[in-house]
Structure 1
Amino acid sequence: MTEASKKSMNPEPVHVQSTASSNETRSNNNLPNFLLSVRLKYVKLGYHYLISNAMYLMLVPLLAIASVHLSTLTVLDLVQLWDQLKFNLVSVTLCSGLLVFLATLYFMSRPRKVYLVDFACYKPEPERTCTREIFMERSGRTGSFTEENLAFQKKILERSGLGQKTYLPEAVLRVPPNPCMAEARKEAEAVMFGAIDELLAKTGVKAKDIGILVVNCSLFNPTPSLSAMIVNRYKLRGNILSYNLGGMGCSAGLISIDLAKQMLQVHPNSYALVVSMENITLNWYFGNDRSMLVSNCLFRMGGAAILLSNRSSDRRRSKYQLIHTVRTHKGADDKCYNC
């Protein structure tokens, strides 16, 4: 057998493993380094705690040194120290005033603590209950959907995670449906006032004590505004800071909380009422575009009212303390904006 035939019968697969490892390395390089982002998160958190407690960290060693020196003083030393202070009254007064000024400046400039006193979720009347069977039956009776799209909605509904205790407004459940401005305002009033009534009953807070009001609803923005409807219903005080957010999508609830938190930083001893809701009546889709039909299968009637406070007296009865709110706006990215 020739040397050439021996080489052909015994090939050496030397490049297989190295190619696989290089491909694996290349694919790993394309993945984001999640471990690095987690580490940076903890670094930022540690830096935040360090800056927030910097005053205490500086005072502890100073107090320790002072206590060590004071423990070595005798009664005679204390008498002599008192005599010296009496002869340097101006210096003592200036130093004391400076310490009081610095302490006052520190306590006034530090961030105010924001507490979530309580919250309430609106629960509609039993007549507004919409089970899966009722949903499919009313959708079929409208005559607006093809058989294929009715089957599509049923499939989405079964996989959406919605239970048998969801609710829809009267205008949508009616046959035929009656989507109009009057019905939409009726739904908004029922959701907002129902949640606020329950919240005020839970907390015992008077409507006149509320100094900040933030309402968010993406798709329904009437005139007068939703916030004005609340001010009129509960006769809130004339200097209330009222905000009505619209068109901001599903994240508007968190944006409202962040706005209320920022307002509570500059208005001491205040209550902030946040009302988050969505309106279904004028936004129910009666066409056959499947991308639009998905919203019919996911969104239902509901809303929530949240009471925030920066009063130290509310600390014991509050459910939570608001520590961090993080907002990242991706509107500058065309892909995010056009999604």
Structure 2
Amino acid sequence: MANVKLVYYYLISHFFKICLLPLIALVATKASNLNQEDVQNLWFHLQHNIVALTILFAVVTLGSVIHFMTRPRPVYLVDYSCHLPPPSQKVTVQKIVECINKNRELDYSSKILPEDSSVDFFFRVLQRSGLGEETYVPEALLNVPPIQTMEAARMETEQVIFDAIDNLLANTKVNTRDIGIIIVNSSMFNPTPSLSAMVVNKYKLRSNIKSFNLGGMGCSAGVIAIDLAKDLLQVHKNTYALVVSTENLTRNLYIGDNRSMLVANCLFRVGGAAILLSNKSGDQRRAKYKLLHTVRTHTGADDKSFRCVQQEDDDSGKTGVSLTKDITSVASRTITKNIATLGPLVLPLSGKVLFFITYIRKKCFNDKIKHYVPDFKRAIDHFCIHAGGRALIDELEKNLGLLPIDVEPSRSTLHRFGNTSSSSIWYELAYTEAKGRMKKGNKAWQIALGSGFKCNSAVWVALRNVKPSVNSPWEHCVAKYPIKLDF
């Protein structure tokens, strides 16, 4: 069966080349039989049809010009940088235990902290989450009692964003005055002035900059920001777009007993990334990647999808993010729709044919036929699956038929940095680079899920053999990975 599949993939992928061979042989045979008189007749015919040839040449030239002027502008990823918090912010499971116990001893009577049963649940989830002993939390949450003021939240966000941008600017040597677009996405923390305004103020960006702040869009907002930047770079010529993806934990630590809200405390950690995009043709020589596709899927019209991840108050009035039991089925359905759109864009002809046949059979003959799951490994070289949790990575590994090495960047990122929300897909791409696996022509697929409910994808192609940037977050620890985890 495996050999039959290989023969099928080869025949379909090279179908046009195979069909072209007899035509080439026929033309070559005819050309070899031409004598001098035939050649003279052909030349005579061309001389007396000069007007027709001129018109044909003009039409071809005009068509080429129109195609050149109207084709989408290429979007290049010049470089990106991920925030690496200081060692003082590292937390182990034991350190988290100590902090919770100290806070309970300090003010147990106020009942602002989880009850014993909820604390036990918290640690059971934490131990099976896939997170390691070197993730990071904000300084304010390591304090006893935790500091959850607006000032502390601003300090956390400024530390993450400014560190990532500083390193990016140092690596790219781009003048901040040349940046024409700034997009910042943070789902849970959106102060006034906005985070994008904070970046404009810090780096003294020009007054006519196109500034955008994306809030409440969940862990998939990083791809949304890239998609928005791509559209803007089609309109604004010869400029740079700075995209910043982050999240804030200081103001969003849940301190109640609702178990569906405690899960977020187990998974989310400090992180952020800054990405520099360009539509300048001259940047192709130094850019790491070119953006091929972005696909956004939103199933929020369905009530279950809309409510499966929701920020709300529990029975005690404490705010947290609730996860309903529908989230697994919602995520599966949304991913399927996203893949159905992305597949025809990236799959080779052999995969597209099978995809189309299954689609027609399902629509016209039997709705119970399972969706065709393409072999994406024939089109994609590297997978950056949002490190939202061990269960999410397991599910996508199974459904997409991936190998352990395909999901290694996601598992390693989850273990080393935790769920850093929308920036996790950039830590995963950095991991692939740090391992020396990103070669010229390789394609990388970033896929992320978020509240709403959304599934968003971005596909990049490497323009060269990509080496890790200076101050990569994996610079001092990549040799330890992958790590075998036993659950």
TM-score (normalised: structure 2): 0.51
- What is residue 220 of structure 2 aligned with on the other side? 251
Q: Give 2:454's aligned residue.
A: none
> What is the DSSP-based 3-state SS (H/G/I as helix, E as strand, rest coil) of the residue aligned with 1:172?
helix
Contact 1:120 1:196 in 2 (8 A): yes
Is the Cα contact below 8 Å between 1:139 and 1:145 reproduced in 2? no
Change (3 A) 1:301 1:102: same
Aligned equivalents of 1:330, 1:307: Cα separation in 2: 30
Matched, 1:108 2:69: yes
SS of residue matched to 1:323: strand
**1:146-181: per-residue Cα shift (whole Å, max 9, x none)?**
222222111111111111111111111101111000
Q: CA deviation at 1:300?
A: 0.7
Work out whether 1:120 is the aligned partner of 2:81. yes
Number of residue pairs aligned between Structure 1 and Structure 2: 271
Q: Does 1:187 align with 2:156?
A: yes
Partner of residue 372, structure 2 = none
* Counterpart position of 1:302: 271
Which aligned pairs between 1:9-88 and structure 2 lie closer than 5 A? Answer: none
DSSP 3-state at the match of 1:326:
strand
Following the alignment from structure 2 to structure 1, what is the Cα–Cα distance between the partners of residues 115 and 53? 88
Q: 2:205 aligns with which of 236, 243, 251?
A: 236
How many angstroms apart in 1 are the aligned matches of 2:264 and 2:56? 67
SS class of match (1:293): helix
* Mapped partners of 2:195, 2:288: distance in 1: 27
Q: Note the C-alpha offset of 1:330.
A: 0.6
Q: Label 1:275 to 1:73 Cα distance change in 2 as closer, same or farther (>3 A).
A: farther
1:208 matched to 2:177 = yes
1:313 to 272, 279, 282: 282
Report the Cα offset of residue 73 of structure 1.
7.4
Match of 2:97 in 1: 136
Distance in 2, matches of 1:194 and 1:259, equals 23
Rounded to whole Å, the distance in 2 between the matches of 1:276 and 1:328 is 19
- Percent same amino acid at aligned positions? 55
Q: CA deviation at 1:286?
A: 1.2
Give the 3-state SS of the residue equivalent to 2:97 in structure 1: helix
Q: Please, which moves more after superposition, 225-234 or 122-131? A: 122-131
Whole-Å separation in 1 of the counterparts to 2:94 and 2:233: 46
Tell me the amino acid that sits aligned with residue 209 of structure 2.
I
Residue 293 of structure 2 aligns to a residue whose secondary structure is coil
* Structure 2: runs of 5+ lacking an equivalent: 1-8, 14-23, 105-112, 309-487
Q: What do residues 269-307 of structure 1 show as CA deviations (whole Å, max 9, x unaligned)?
A: 221111000000000011111111111110011101111
Larger radius of gyration: 1
* Residue 269 of structure 1: aligned partner: 238
Deviation digits for residues 94-125 of structure 1 (CA, Å, limit 9, x no counterpart) = 98876655433211101111111111110111
1:284 maps to 2:253: yes
Q: CA deviation at 1:239?
A: 1.5
Deviations 1:16-61 (A, max 9, x none): xxxxxxxxxxxxxxxxxxxxxxxxxx9xxx9xxxxxxxxxxxxxx9
Amino acid corresponding to residue 75 of structure 2 in structure 1 = V
1:281 aligns to what SS in structure 2? coil
Q: Which amino acid aligns with 1:324?
A: H
1:160 corresponds in structure 2 to 129
Query: Residue 137 of structure 1 aligns to which amino acid in structure 2?
Result: E
